[in-house]
């Protein structure tokens, strides 16, 4: 049986880490809901409660990267024991109650085109953040955003917890993932909420991780069909602070589905393109990095194909 909450934090590993490093060296514990870099997988309420207990024991603040909080709440409702009878909005409230603060890009579950926010329970820390905001972005009532964008975020937060919307959203993503899996194309399962993740390392076993199979697959999808995916693998996670490089745990290509944008025919086209590229996977070659920035290279690095 597939684990329904593969985005859960390893609580035992968290405890060991805090004990080894010491609480004084750790400013905050972050949990991402859903876990984007791990295949769009959700986090259970039980896991959040357990992480909260560890944070309380060591006196550490718990923050959420809550870009996809509503999708995570939907997965809790349909997958976690004892949660089926609850409303999504109530699950969201409990998720928030377990945290000391949160960050969010409102372009995700905020259903907006731009914007986001930082929220916290600590009034003193909030005051420091507001002062930085005024210096760098704008006053606290707009934070560098136009009024219409603030209204869009507010409306998006109302709409995103609508269960009919969430049911359709999650099912649309599953439609893509299930079709690819039925064709034997390796994807991360269970299918996540906002994206389908192709396992590039499994599809391109002849391309070593340090030749970036995820990047090779993403390029092929764009060249063959104009499908824009995102490498989540050794390009994103392989470089270490000392300049050395090693393979990431996985080499994935994320096919994120913009909300309220595509029809079923669009998704069927994506399926056709992925099938076409997968049938010719053995012809794909790896890439090398030509230039890269000191940090966050997966955004702006430049690549060249290997012979």
Domain with CATH 3.40.640.10 in the chain: 11-160
Closest CA to 161 of 58, 106, 213, 88: 88
Q: What pLDDT, on a 0 to 100 scale, did the predictor assign at position 307? A: 83
CATH code matching the domain that covers 11-160, chosen among 3.40.640.10, 3.30.360.10, 3.65.10.10, 3.30.565.10: 3.40.640.10
Q: What pLDDT, on a 0 to 100 scale, did the predictor assign at position 237? A: 93
pLDDT tens sequence across 238-278:
998 888 999 999 999 999 998 888 999 999 999 999 999 99
Instruction: Count CA within 13 A, CB hemisphere, residue 306.
Output: 16
What whole-number percentage of the chain has pLDDT above 90?
82
| Whether the predicted pLDDT of 2 surpasses 70 | no
pLDDT tens sequence across 7-30:
999 999 999 999 999 999 999 999
Lowest-pLDDT choice from 10-19, 112-121, 211-220:
112-121
The CATH architecture assigned to 163-305 reads Alpha-Beta Complex (3.90)
Q: How far is Cα 307 from Cα 286, in angstroms, rounded to an integer? A: 8
pLDDT tens sequence across 129-141:
999 999 998 888 8
Domain with CATH 3.90.1150.10 in the chain: 163-305
Closest CA to 43 of 199, 193, 165: 193
pTM of the shown model: 0.91
């Amino acid at each position: 049986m597939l684990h329904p909450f593969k985005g859960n934090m390893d609580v035992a590993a968290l405890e060991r880490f805090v004990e080894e490093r010491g609480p004084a060296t750790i400013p905050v514990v972050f949990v991402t809901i859903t876990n984007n870099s791990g295949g769009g997988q959700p986090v259970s309420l039980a896991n959040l409660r357990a992480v909260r207990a560890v944070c309380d024991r060591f006196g550490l603040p718990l923050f959420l990267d809550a870009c996809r909080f509503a999708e995570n709440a939907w997965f809790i409702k349909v997958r976690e024991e004892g949660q089926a009878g609850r409303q999504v909005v109530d699950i969201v409230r409990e998720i928030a109650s377990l945290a000391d603060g949160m960050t969010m890009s409102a372009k995700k579950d905020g259903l907006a085109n731009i914007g986001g926010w930082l929220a916290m329970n600590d009034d003193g820390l909030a005051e420091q953040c507001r002062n930085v905001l005024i210096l760098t972005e704008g006053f606290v009532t707009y934070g560098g955003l136009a009024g219409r964008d603030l209204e869009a975020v507010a409306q998006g937060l109302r709409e995103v917890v609508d269960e009919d919307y969430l049911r359709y959203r999650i099912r649309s993503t599953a439609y893509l993932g299930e079709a690819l899996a039925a064709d034997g194309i390796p994807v991360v399962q269970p299918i996540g909420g906002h994206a389908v993740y192709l396992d590039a390392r499994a599809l391109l076993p002849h391309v070593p991780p340090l030749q970036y199979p995820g990047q090779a697959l993403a390029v092929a999808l764009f060249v063959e069909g104009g499908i824009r995916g995102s490498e989540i693998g050794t390009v994103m996670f392989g470089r270490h602070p000392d300049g050395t490089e090693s393979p990431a745990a996985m080499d994935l290509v994320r096919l994120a589905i913009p909300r309220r944008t595509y029809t079923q025919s669009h998704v069927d086209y994506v399926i056709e393109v992925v099938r076409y590229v997968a049938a010719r996977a053995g012809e794909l070659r790896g890439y090398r990095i030509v230039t890269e920035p000191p940090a966050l290279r997966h955004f702006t690095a430049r690549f060249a194909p290997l012979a």
